[in-house]
Every structure is written in C-alpha cells, then in structure tokens.
Structure 1
Amino acid sequence: METGWTFFSNHGHVLVCIAGDPDARLRDVADRVGITERAVQAIVNDLVDEGYLTRVRVGRRNRYEVHDDQPLRHPVEQGHRVGDVLRALEVGELATGGAR
C-alpha cells in the first residue's frame, strides 16, 4: 500500500472493515487499517457511542452490527447515509441487499 493520503478517515476504514466482517477481531481490523489495536478500540467506542455500531457479546467475542441508516457526519455529505457508502463500496450484506 502506498503511503500518503486516503479518501476515508480511520473511522471510515474501521466501519468498512466491520461491515465486511462483523465478527472480525479488533486486532485484525487494526492490521488491515494499519493502525494500533488501541486506536481501533477508541474508534469502535466512538462509533458505538454515536449509534453507528452496536456491540453484541457472543460467548467470549464481540459481534458488531452496523446501523446503515445513520447519517454521514460532515455537512458536505448531508442527506447521505452510511449505507449509501457501504453499498457503493459493495461491502458485506448491503451489497447484495441483505438485512443488517
């Protein structure tokens, strides 16, 4: 992967990774995004606190549910939802029309 700027923030990258694999370990998300596991934990907490994710305990692991009806946060994206981005990127069940 080239270094430099990207189109999405780390919050966006983490959300896309989790949408693609709701059972992913945060360590694996961190490796994929290229940030620390601690940074992923903080981002996931932000996303949970703001209603973009729900954390569900399954045995000893966590599973995450993405709330694709949540609005994007920046005024430039006003009127668009998280699901719009995930569908455009063909991520997870949203790409095939499955329920989340």
Structure 2
Amino acid sequence: MMSELMSENPEGWTFLTNHAHVLLCLAQDPEIRLCDVAAEVGLTERGVQRIVKELATSGYITRERNGRRNRYLVHQRQPLRRSIASHRQVGDLLQLIVKS
C-alpha cells in the first residue's frame, strides 16, 4: 500500500511539515519578509501568516516590531511537539538542517 501511495505522486511529500519549513526560514533570516518565506516554502503568504501565528501562539517564536518590519526570535529550547520527538528541542532540529 505504501509503495502504491508513493508511486502515485512521488514528488508530493516531504520529510518536514510546512510549519518546520517556515520555522527554518525564520531561524535562518530573522528579518525575512513573510512574502519571501511564502516563495521559499511554496505556500501562499496567507498560509505563512497562519503558520507564524500558530508558532507564536504555541511559544515557538516571538515577533518583535523593528521599524516597519518584523523580527522573529525562534525559541530553540522549546520541545518538539510529537511525543516521539518531545525529548528533543527546536534547536536540535535547527542544528541538523539550517545552513551555516
């Protein structure tokens, strides 16, 4: 069954969620514009705004006003959400994936 699902649309899945992709963009460039995040991740700007709001509400990021722009602070010590990975923190994920 799994091979049938993958053969239908092999390009349609990813190892990371949209939330993780947005978080990674914010961690790499804290002053990035959400329209640029949307272009990078392949979502609408409205979708990215929803994800940013959810990440902020859940305590994973803080938005700070910096003039006319926002600056995003990623809280790297927050635990990952699923119980299978809750022993790890956001910073652990970022260390694995963020470009240096």
TM range (shorter): 0.7 to 0.9
Structural RMSD (CA): 1.3
Deviation at 1:90, TM superposition (A): 3.4
Work out the percentage of aligned pairs sharing the same amino acid: 54
Residue equivalent to 1:6: 14
The one-letter amino acid paired with 1:31 is A
For structure 2, the 5+ residue unaligned runs are 1-9
1:20 aligns with 2:28: yes
Residue equivalent to 1:62: 70
Larger Rg: 2
Q: Distance between the aligned counterparts of 1:66 and 1:87, measured in 2?
A: 13
Superposed structure 1 runs of 4+ greater than 4 Å apart:
none
Residue equivalent to 1:98: none
Deviation at 1:89, TM superposition (A): 1.3
Q: Distance between the aligned counterparts of 1:58 and 1:78, measured in 2?
A: 32
User: How many residue pairs get matched?
Assistant: 91
How does the TM-score come out when normalised to structure 1? 0.87
1:74 aligns with 2:82: yes
- Alignment deviations for residues 62-82 of structure 1 (CA, whole Å, 9 cap, x no partner): 000000000000111020000
How does the TM-score come out when normalised to structure 2? 0.87
For structure 1, the 5+ residue unaligned runs are 96-100
